[in-house]
Amino acid sequence: STYGRACPVSVLAQRIARFMQLYTLYASVRAFGATLMLAGVDYEGTTTTPRLYVVDPSGTARACHGMAIGQNQRDARGELETLMGVDTASISRQARAGDRPTVSNEYMSLDSQRLVFEAARVVYSAHDDNDKDITLELGIISEDGGASILRGQEAEEISERAQTAARTESDSEDSAENGMVVE
């Protein structure tokens, strides 16, 4: 409210990144040991743009369209790249140039319900069955600036559909590895 407008997500991400990086400089304080995903909406005139940033403890803030962090991040990132229609080589090239990776028009035209389902499916497909069960919380940040956490039957329905899709996908991959065809 000091400046009469909302803080852009990029500025907030950079401020948090600098703060996290400061804690790596001194032996008397403990460094942050977690990576942060920061999602929000930037207001530019009459347009709104959803943004996603990943801030790591080293003080790096990166803009992205989709990201996975955690134990099975490599598998989840591969799923996200497939969903977004990007290849790893172009992502690396664009990241070195300091640009956000471009994604397919098909991905950009997906509605929010489909994106929430796909995000849940990616989480469940990357989850290892040997690990403890997970509780998935789903949320949406809309372009009008509103944010909501999905609860109740809607969240359960999406979660169950995503688990089923991930299981089916895993079973078909296992069958393909064993030389079997699943119809």
The residues facing 54 across adjacent strands are: 37, 62
pLDDT on residue 182: 47
pLDDT grade, residue 13 (50/70/90)?
very high
**HSE-up of residue 82 (Cα within 13 Å, Cβ side):** 10
User: Helices (H) and strands (E) in the chain — how many of each?
Assistant: 6, 5
Q: Which two tokens stand for residue 84?
A: 């977004």
> Model confidence over 55-110: pLDDT tens digits?
998 889 988 878 888 888 888 888 887 877 776 566 666 666 656 656 666 666 77
Mean pLDDT of 13-31: 88
